[in-house]
Structures are given as structure tokens and as C-alpha cells.
Chains A and B, each alone.
Chain A
Amino acid sequence: MKKLSLVIASILLAASFAFAHGNEQHVIGTVSKVTESSITVTTTDGKSVEITLTPRTTFTKQDKTITAKGIKEGDRVVIHAKKNGEKLEATSVQLGIAKSVDQKSTH
């Protein structure tokens, strides 16, 4: 029991450090809108998050570099982004190989 409490305390401590010190956020979800300058993602918990694209943003699909043009609505994405004022700026966009589960079920 003591060991378990210690493990839980360590995890909580690690989590608080990750949020307090790493100013990078990971956005996981499905692309609901994509423009030249931003991607809007519906996250796995149903929230809509807009992430700005910058010239430094990198795009990959299965470890291969792609361009922003390769991203379509309904694509699964994992976006690592940094806060810049009120905006979230994407540092990397990883595109999934599969469409979202919700989209599959509508066909």
C-alpha cells in the first residue's frame, strides 16, 4: 500500500512538472477544418481547438515528411503545439493512417 501511494505520488509529481515546465501541449483528435494558416481539431473529448500553423511547423505521416496540403477534414492528427499569447502554435503535426472512428461509422 505504501509502495502504491509512493508510485501514485511520483506520477502526480511528474504530471504537475510536465504541465508546469513543459509549455508544449499535445492535441489529439480529428481535423474538422483546415486552412492555409490553421487546423481546427475536434479532440477525443469533443472539444474544438484551433491551432495556428507557422513556417516552422513540420508535417509527417508514418515518419515521412508531407505538406499541409496533405491534411484533409476527418484525418486523425496528433499536434504538438506551444502557447503564444492566446494562440496555440503547432510545432509538429503527425497525420494518422486511419480515418476517425466516427467518420467510418457514418459510411
Chain B
Amino acid sequence: MTGKRLTIGLLVALSLVVIVVLLWLKLGADGFSARAKPSPIEQFAAATARKLAMPEHAKRLRNPVPYSNEVLEQARAHWADHCAYCHATDGSGNTEVGRNLYPKPPDMRASPTQSLSDGELYFAINRGIRLTGMPAWGKPGDDDEDSWKLVHLIRHLPKMTEQEAKSMKQLNPESCMEREEERREQEFLNGHSDKTVPIQHNY
């Protein structure tokens, strides 16, 4: 009798799940878009899954690369070239790609990221984050120096100066056309007539 009740209960529960899923799909009949913002439930589920998947020893890892201006300089160049395309130079995530990823990259300057331990930040860089746009970078293991240098840079993002951001932007990857357009804009601002600004092709 108990077994029969259990079976009926499971069937009812399963039916409810199916109904909820069908309703969800029906309500989302416009199709899924990466432009959408993940719902609080999705955010909670993703954050919890990531937390559970983080190895215990990762949380305790300390940055083995000593902080120095030289290290920060290298990390700035690395970030500008590899990370800024999605995360933005200032870490805000406010780029064409960042705004339209699903899930969006977080504002790295804000508390949810800054409150992570050095080891957790390292693991996010070195192992990537599944089912997001974040790939795994560097060589596998706990001692990828470049990834640890980036941890220093992430800690520095909340206090980054305008001048630093400006110099980093010069290191952002650009297409030939973007470089050419930027050159023409600067020459126009400096007083050249747009019609007389020569176009250089460096393709």
C-alpha cells in the first residue's frame, strides 16, 4: 500500500514538473535570447553550483606571485589584450560582447567578485567557468604565473585610474579598420580637415 502511494506521489510530482516545464517553454515561446538577464533562480543555481564545484583547497590558496608595480604592469597588458574584450578595460563588463553574453560577465570591481578568495579568482581564470563564455586560460595546475598576476590586477580594478585605463586601451586588440578609424578621428580632433587626412592602409 505504501509502495503504491509512493508511486502515485512520484507520478504526480513528475507530472507537475512536466507541466511547469511545458508552461515555461510556452511562456518563452519567443525563443531564448542571450540578450536576456538570467532570472534570480538561475543566478542562485549557477552561483551555488559554482561554489560547490570549487575544490576546498582552491579557497585557501594564496597568491604565490609577490605584488609589485612590474607585475601589475604585466597584468594590465595581459588583461587589456586577453580579457578586456568581454570584461572591459575597467572590469565593468560593459562591452559589446559582455553586454550580450548569457550569463553576462560580472562587474569585477563589485563585491561578489572582490569577496572571492585569491584562490577562487585563480581557479575561475585557470579552469574557466562551464556553461558561460569564460574559457580556461593558461597552463593547468595551481602555478600558472600569468593567471596569478591577473588576480593582482582584479584586486586593483576598483582603484584603477583614468590614466591607467587610457594606457590599457591602447593595448586592446583592434582590427586594421578600427586602428585606421581611430587615427582619422584623432587627426580630425587635432585640427586636420577630414577631407585632407590621408588614409594609410597598413593591411
Chain A contacts to B: CB under 8 angstroms: 7, 10-11, 14-15, 18, 21-24, 26, 28, 44, 63, 65, 76-78, 94-98, 101
> Is there contact, CB below 8 Å, between B188 and A28?
yes
State the CA gap A65–B195 with chains docked (Å). Answer: 28
Q: Which 7 A-B pairs have the closest CB atoms?
A: A98-B191, A96-B189, A44-B194, A78-B185, A101-B193, A14-B177, A7-B203
Taking A14-B175, A14-B177 as contacts, is the C-beta distance between A96 and B191 under 8 angstroms?
yes
Q: Which of B163, B166, B177 contacts A11 (CB 8 A)?
A: B177
**19 CB < 8 A contacts A-B:** A10-B203, A11-B176, A11-B177, A18-B175, A18-B177, A21-B96, A26-B181, A28-B184, A76-B188, A78-B188, A94-B185, A95-B189, A96-B189, A96-B190, A97-B191, A98-B189, A98-B191, A101-B191, A101-B193
Closest to B187 in A: A96
1/0 contact string of B140-170 vs chain A (CB within 8 Å):
0000000000000000000000110010000
State the CA gap A24–B94 with chains docked (Å). Answer: 13
B interface residues, how many (CB within 8 angstroms) = 19
> Is there contact, CB below 8 Å, between B162 and A65?
yes
Give me 4 other A-B pairs in contact (C-beta within 8 A), A10-B203, A14-B175 excluded: A11-B177, A28-B184, A44-B194, A97-B190
> Is there contact, CB below 8 Å, between B96 and A24?
yes
Chain B contacts to A: CB under 8 angstroms: 96, 162-163, 166, 175-178, 181, 184-185, 188-191, 193-195, 203
| Most chain B beta-carbon neighbours within 10 Å: one of A15, A44, A65 | A44
Taking A14-B175, A26-B181 as contacts, is the C-beta distance between A98 and B190 under 8 angstroms?
yes
Q: Specify which chain A residues have a CB less than 8 angstroms from the CB of B189 in the assembled complex.
A: 76-78, 94-98
State the CA gap A11–B202 with chains docked (Å). Answer: 12
State the CA gap A7–B194 with chains docked (Å). Answer: 25
B40 CB to nearest A CB, Å = 25
B90 CB to nearest A CB, Å = 11
Closest to B193 in A: A101
Q: Specify which chain A residues have a CB less than 8 angstroms from the CB of B191 in the assembled complex.
A: 76, 96-98, 101
State the CA gap A76–B188 with chains docked (Å). Answer: 8
State the CA gap A22–B190 with chains docked (Å). Answer: 26
